[in-house]
Amino acid sequence: MRGSSRSAEHVALFRALEHNRRHDRLFDDRLAARMLPPLHRAVATASRVPAVHRWIVRYLDHHFAGGPRASAVVRTRFIDDQVRAAGGSQLVLLGAGFDNRAHRLAVPVAFEVDHPATQATKRRRSPAGGTVHYVPVDLTRDALAPALLSAGFDASAPAVVVWEGVTNYLTAEAVDATLRALAGLLAAGGTVVFTYVDRAVLDGTGAFTGVAEWHNAVRRGGEPWTFGFDPAELPAYLEQRALHLVEDLSTRDAAARYLEPLGRDEPTAEFYRIAVCRA
């Protein structure tokens, strides 16, 4: 990777648009627009006008078929709720991208782990202050545990790990190594929240809508999906790595929880999923 992740910038745009909703927004993320390159930032700024906001959202949901925008929005809210509920004195943003939870959620200390190229861009755009430790790691080749411990992570203290929007871009070996490293690092009761795509979208056995459009979009951006889990196999997979599944739901399930009560009918993906597990 030579520059920052395009998928990370798209998610930051989706969060900025959600923040700019005047009513019924799922979360506040006033820093999201700061994470954007100039063109995306101009779009976010224009979306402060309600009529323009509605047009942008309709355009994105049509252009990026399959529901990536609303899926990113509901997974953000779900993960926020998990972080708040878990508590813990340490937050680890694994593959942080342009995630601003280290600044917008009340956590004593945060560690942002990411590919050095994306992290360099993030640090230029992030505000100063806060207790944030930046840990440059390429999960495809670097050891996670030594890097986190060297940055000051306390393996005896409660922690929450957020691994959002990453596993589907890795290899099976990198996912396995990362989860084993986390299981070895976390104190008992530590929480890991991660997203994944259903393996059926990669092997062609699933009858999901919007798969081809979404996958083609990330492929054109140079970040094709490479890995997925079978939801039926996930509990046993995690148990083998000393992690215990607590919840596993699709972004469509999350939309039913968060969007439908607000009267918002927006496209989300059944094949994009969020799992919560504990050490």
Identify whether 20 is part of a domain: no
Residue 182 and residue 279 in contact, taking contact as beta carbons nearer than 8 Å: yes
Q: Residue 35 — very low, low, confident or very high, per pLDDT cuts 50/70/90?
A: very high
Identify whether 245 is part of a domain: yes
Identify the burial level of 194 via C-beta atoms within 10 angstroms of its C-beta, where 0-12 means exposed, 13-18 middle and 19 or more buried: buried
Identify whether 119 is part of a domain: yes
User: In this structure, what token pair is assigned to residue 18?
Assistant: 């959600």
Provide the b/e sequence for 107-121 (b: ≥16 CB within 10 Å).
Answer: bebbbbbbbeebbeb
Q: What is the pLDDT of residue 124?
A: 87
Name the residue type at position 97: G
Q: What is the pLDDT of residue 222?
A: 82
User: In this structure, what token pair is assigned to residue 211?
Assistant: 């798969």
Stretch among 55-69, 116-130, 140-154 having the lowest mean pLDDT: 116-130
Whole-angstrom Cα distance, residue 85 to residue 79? 10
For the stretch 245-257, pLDDT in tens is 999 999 999 999 9
Residue 146 clears pLDDT 50, i.e. is over it: yes
Q: What is the pLDDT of residue 54?
A: 96
Between 268 and 107, residue with greater pLDDT: 268
User: In this structure, what token pair is assigned to residue 45?
Assistant: 């700024």
Identify whether 49 is part of a domain: no
Whole-angstrom Cα distance, residue 109 to residue 102? 8
Residue 4 clears pLDDT 90, i.e. is over it: no
For the stretch 182-220, pLDDT in tens is 999 999 999 999 999 999 998 877 778 777 777 777 787
Q: How many folded domains does the chain comprise? A: 1
Identify whether 163 is part of a domain: yes
Residue linked to tokens 């589907």 = 168
Whole-angstrom Cα distance, residue 69 to residue 62? 10
Percent of the chain with pLDDT over 70: 97
Residue 130 clears pLDDT 70, i.e. is over it: no
Identify whether 61 is part of a domain: no
Q: Which residues contact 218 (CB under 8 A, 6 or more apart)?
A: 7, 224, 225
Identify whether 10 is part of a domain: no
Identify whether 186 is part of a domain: yes
Strands of the 191-197 sheet, one edge to the other: 132-136, 109-114, 90-94, 159-163, 191-197, 272-278, 244-250
Q: What is the pLDDT of residue 129?
A: 65
Supply the mean pLDDT for the chain. Answer: 92
Residue 3 clears pLDDT 60, i.e. is over it: no
Torsion over CA: 46, 47, 49, 55 (sign):
positive
**Residues 190, 191, 197, 202, Cα dihedral to 10°:** 10
Stretch among 67-71, 143-147, 209-213 having the lowest mean pLDDT: 209-213
Residue 11 clears pLDDT 90, i.e. is over it: yes
| Residue 67 Ramachandran class (φ > 0 left, ψ -120 to 50 alpha, else beta) | left
Q: What is the pLDDT of residue 1?
A: 44
Domain that holds residue 247: 66-278
Residue linked to tokens 């092997």 = 203
Q: Cα 168 vs. chain centroid, distance in angstroms?
A: 11
Q: Residue 126 — very low, low, confident or very high, per pLDDT cuts 50/70/90?
A: confident
CATH code of the domain covering residue 271: 3.40.50.150
